[in-house]
Amino acid sequence: MGRGKIEIKRIENANSRQVTFSKRRTGLLKKAQELAILCDAEVAVIIFSNTGKLFEFSSSGMKRTLSRYNKCADSSETAVVEYKTEKEDSKMVEILKDEVAKLETNQLRLLGKDLTGLGLKELHHLEQQINEGLSSVKERKEELLMEQLEQSRIQEQKALLENETLRRQVEELRCLFPMTEHVIPTYLQYHHIERKNSFVENGVKCPSLARNCANDKADSDTTLHLGLPSDVHHKRNAPEKKTFSDDS
């Protein structure tokens, strides 16, 4: 008769548990060795008893097998993480694409385009959005205009202050350096002074000419005072001029 099936559970009897551990440990290590030889596989087995005693088997050295195991475990974990990351990224890309498409559709609708699929409520809501946006634009425009106006007022005040400062500086300079008043002669006075100076300069060379000119001036003044006509003045001066020419 064959041996009956044993239920796989913890053996309560300590002696039976120790006997079973020894038998099965030996069989497991033997099977591992056979597997490594028959299949040219790298096999390692590590066993700790309930008392903490270590039992191990390795076909190619425990350290070499463990380092290889660690590399494979790290690479597999990295591959799993990369796969999860790529999957999450692809989902995020799809979500972003949907959002971009919705935003583009809303933008076209705000511009008054692509309104065929909208109902009455949606059109009313869109109209409210446009009105709110227009009011916001007007408010912002008024704010900018008020800011520009305020800047213009500030610049005007600065210009007025600068003008006032310059005016005070000019007044201070005038007080420090008073300007002398020069009387500008009129044309008749200037002409008379120039004629007199010319006579004085030529007095040494032509004294008789200076006398005649002085006599002419006196006669002309007398004629003007008496109110005589100018031809009388010329007749009176004619003999004198003749005698002057004879003398010369």
pLDDT, position 45? 94
**Domain-wise residue ranges, the chain:** 14-60, 187-247
- Percentage with pLDDT > 90 across the chain: 29
Closest to 196 measured CA to CA, from 217, 219, 221: 217
Q: Which residue has the higher pLDDT, 56 or 194?
A: 56
**Predicted confidence (pLDDT) per residue in 101-110, tens digit:** 888 888 888 8
Domain 14-60: what homologous superfamily? Answer: Transcription factor, MADS-box (3.40.1810.10)
Say which range, 47-51, 73-77, 165-169, has the weakest mean pLDDT.
73-77
Q: Which residue has the higher pLDDT, 229 or 58?
A: 58
The residues near 58 (Cβ < 8 Å, ≥ 6 apart) are: 43, 44, 45, 64, 65
pLDDT, position 73? 79
pLDDT, position 185? 54
What's the rounded Cα separation, in Å, for the pair 24 and 46? Answer: 13
pLDDT at 206 over 50: no
Q: What is the mean pLDDT of residues 195-219?
A: 50
pLDDT, position 44? 94
pLDDT, position 195? 61
pLDDT at 225 over 50: no
What's the rounded Cα separation, in Å, for the pair 148 and 155? Answer: 10
Model confidence band, residue 224 (pLDDT cutoffs 50, 70, 90)? very low
The whole model's pTM is what? 0.33
pLDDT at 229 over 90: no
Place of tokens 């190619």: 60
What's the rounded Cα separation, in Å, for the pair 46 and 41? Answer: 16
Model confidence band, residue 3 (pLDDT cutoffs 50, 70, 90)? low
| DSSP-derived pairing of the beta strands 54-58 and 44-48 | antiparallel
Whether 12 contacts 18, CB under 8 Å: no
Say which range, 23-32, 36-45, 127-136, 228-237, has the weakest mean pLDDT.
228-237
Average pLDDT over the chain, rounded to an integer: 76
pLDDT, position 196? 59
